[in-house]
Each structure stands twice: as structure tokens, then as C-alpha cells.
Amino acid sequence: MSRKIRILVVEDEAAIRAGLVDVLVYHGYDAATAVDGPSGLDQALSGTFDLILLDVMLPGMDGFAICNRIRAHDREQPIIMLTAKTSDEDIIQGLSLGADDYVSKPFSVAQLLLRIQAVLRRSRIGVEMENHIRLGDGVEVDTRNLSGRRGQENLSFTRREVEILQYLSANSERPVSRDELLNKVWGYAKNLAIETRTVDIHIAKLRRKIETDPSHPRYLVTVRGAGYRLQAD
């Protein structure tokens, strides 16, 4: 018998925490909880969870600090951050620190489950494409080790960033839309009405790493009205 998928819920509000556990257990997941930042970090670093639901506002240590510590320890641990609905800064900061996705409060159970399923699916199957991506003379990405270089500068990437580059590289003859990236990289179903800025934020993060001048990208370019395109030069 296969084991249940284990999800850690790091949430200090008792009602939300209990509700999340009920929903997860009802849908067949094994749920553990942490009520503050330090205990959440300790459990997260144990490496025994398939996914972490991480609230931003926590006593003792906020979700941003926890996400940053997790990423320093394990760049492939799936993380979904729970953020205040009106706070774009929370969303941008969480994704910039390496969270795979975010869910805004208040959220619907259906949307939360879709996000969880998509992140878990991507973390399990990955993107089986090329192991090295070279852009021009100075940028190289080692997709197996989530590392690379730009000139003499060493780079590190999250699993999701590498998946984006791999998909864009495999389809470099054409622009790829945001919806296609959400479908193929994030694993969201086509025509699913999900409001998210996660693609744009990840593209901005990648440009800061691979471009000499991110405001005038040479490799990861925007094709107006069509999406993004990765070009060797």
C-alpha cells in the first residue's frame, strides 16, 4: 500500500489551521501542523513532507524567513505560501524567495486543492528535457544541479525556475503564453480561471539572474500580446 502524501500546515490561526487539516485529511492527505514560525521551521527542515503550506504572518519567525531557510537547505521542497488577499508585496516577496506558488486569503477550498495538486504533480514528474542550457557566450544553466553561471558569476536556481527555462528552451522557435506556462510548467488545467501573477514574477526573477541588464533582456524576451521567448542571442 502506498503511503499518503504528507503536508505540513504552518498556520497560527486555530480556525484556519483546523479547517485546512480537515480539508486535507478528507481528501486523503496526511496533515501535520505547526502553530508558530520556529516550530514550523524545525518540522519543515526534517525533510519528511511532500509539500508545505506556509502562512506569511507567524509568531516568532515569519513565513518569508522560513521559506528562505528552507530554500537554503533544500531547493526542491514544494512550498505554497498563504498570503493576505490585498498584499501584492507578500506575493512578490514569497515567490522571490522561492515559493512554488501562493494562495490568497480568503481562499476557496476548490482553488487551494487545485494549487496543491498542481505543485505536487510538477514536483513528482519534473520536466525531462535538456540538462544544459546555453545562452550566448556567457550564460550556462545546469538543469540537473539547479546551478549555472553568467560570465564569472555563479548562479543558483529553484526547481521551478529551471522548469520554466527548460520549457521555453524546448519551444524556442515561438513565444509561449502565460496560460501555456501555467498549464505545462505549473500543471494547471487549461481554461482554469486562476488569478495569478506567479508567471510574471518568476520571469522577472530569471531575468535578474541571466540578463546583464534585466530591463532590456537579451535572452528572455517578451513578445507583445503573445508571451515570452527564450533565444540564444
User: Which comes out higher in pLDDT, residue 48 or 40?
Assistant: 40
DSSP string, 209-233: HH-SSTTS-SSEEEETTTEEEE---
Q: Stretch 23-46: mean pLDDT, rounded?
A: 94
pLDDT > 70? residue 22: yes
Least confident interval from 32-41, 97-106, 202-211: 97-106
**Model pLDDT, residue 96:** 79
Nearest to 150 by CA among 207, 204, 196, 194: 207
**Model pLDDT, residue 1:** 41
- Among 52-66, 116-130, 164-178, top mean pLDDT goes to 52-66
Report pTM: 0.62
**Model pLDDT, residue 7:** 96
Percentage above 90 pLDDT, the chain: 49
pLDDT in tens, 170-196: 888 899 998 889 888 887 766 555 556
> CB neighbours (10 Å) of residue 200?
14
C-alpha distances (whole Å) from 118 to each of 62, 113, 114, 149, 187 are 25, 8, 6, 30, 5
pLDDT confidence of 209, banded at 50, 70, 90? very high
**Model pLDDT, residue 59:** 95
Tell me the average pLDDT of the chain: 86
All domains of the chain in start order, with CATH: 6-125 (3.40.50.2300), 132-230 (1.10.10.10)
According to DSSP, the β-strands at 153-156 and 147-150 are antiparallel
pLDDT > 60? residue 3: yes
User: Taking the CA of residue 39 as centre, how many other CA atoms within 13 Å lie in the half-sphere pointing to its CB?
Assistant: 12
C-alpha cell at 217: 533582456
C-alpha cell at 230: 527564450
pLDDT > 60? residue 126: no
**Model pLDDT, residue 127:** 42
pLDDT in tens, 77-115: 899 999 875 667 777 777 878 888 888 888 888 889 988
Q: Which stretches within the chain are classed as H helix?
A: 14-26, 37-44, 63-73, 88-96, 109-125, 159-170, 178-184, 198-210
User: Which comes out higher in pLDDT, residue 91 or 168?
Assistant: 168
